[in-house]
A and B are shown apart, each in its own frame.
Chain A
Amino acid sequence: SAVISQKPSRDICQRGTSLTIQCQVDSQVTMMFWYRQQPGQSLTLIATANQGSEATYESGFVIDKFPISRPNLTFSTLTVSNMSPEDSSIYLCSVEAGVISGANVLTFGAGSRLTVL
């Protein structure tokens, strides 16, 4: 299965600033997914990033707040803009990696833990 590297693994940020998270995959993948995991909560899909087209955002997430780049088939970035303490979360990158019993399985990166002060 694919190996995903995320940077940074954690960061402490000031309110009002922006931070870009990088996701690097060791193989070419069609779709990359960005999830958010707020403290003590489950994962929520932010957007799907396809190479060569604009990302598709889920309800409640907008491009101005979470701009995404997908310059090639192995790399994507997610920017968290104009951060507030409510943005303190773990942000995870995931890709379809492998098939089990005929179904695609998502593999996740280790996550980027952001704390906004």
Chain B
Amino acid sequence: ELKVEQNPLFLSMQEGKNYTIYCNYSTTSDRLYWYRQDPGKSLESLFVLLSNGAVKQEGRLMASLDTKARLSTLHITAAVHDLSATYFCAVGTSRGSRLTFGEGTQLTVNP
């Protein structure tokens, strides 16, 4: 059974600081997703990572994938309040679009 674990689950940080969210998964996967969820809203797709060493960046967020370690990271650079949200990683397998989600990391960026 595929398990996906994120840490930390809760993160409170100051504006301007850097931090990394980690996503570990238990079995071989062919793709990894990062999603953002604002309170009361649905999920917004941020990144799709497909291969070992893949790195994607959008604004202050950068995601990377190490398939050998079964680890993905979401790095936040110079955080701003607008990044406050819950971030989920999700892992896909060869069984189509079925995704297994991590527990989510609730990020709060304080002014």
By a beta-carbon cutoff of 8 Å, the part of chain A in contact with chain B is 31, 33, 41-45, 48, 92, 96, 100-111
The B contact surface, by secondary structure, is strand
Q: For the complex, what is the distance from the CA of A95 to the CA of B27, rounded to whole Å?
A: 24
User: Which range holds the interface residue count of chain B?
Assistant: 20 to 34
Do residues B88 and A42 form an inter-chain contact, with CB atoms below 8 A? yes
Task: Please tell me which one of the listed residues A44, A92, A96 contacts residue B97 in the complex, with CB atoms under 8 A apart.
Answer: A96
The A contact surface, by secondary structure, is strand
Q: For the complex, what is the distance from the CA of A96 to the CA of B104, rounded to whole Å?
A: 21
Given A31-B96, A31-B97, the answer on whether A105 and B48 have CB atoms closer than 8 Å is yes
A42, A45, A92, A111: residue with the most chain B Cβ atoms closer than 10 Å: A42
Interface string of B45-65 (1 = CB under 8 A from A): 100101000000000000000
Chain A residue contacts of B76, Cβ below 8 A:
none
Q: For the complex, what is the distance from the CA of A100 to the CA of B32, rounded to whole Å?
A: 12
User: B25 an interface residue at 8 Å Cβ cutoff?
Assistant: no
Given A108-B43, A111-B42, the answer on whether A45 and B99 have CB atoms closer than 8 Å is yes
Chain A residue contacts of B96, Cβ below 8 A:
31, 48, 104
Chain B residue contacts of A101, Cβ below 8 A:
48, 50
Q: What 6 pairs across the A-B complex have the smallest Cβ distances?
A: A108-B42, A108-B43, A43-B101, A42-B101, A100-B48, A110-B42
Chain A residue contacts of B92, Cβ below 8 A:
103
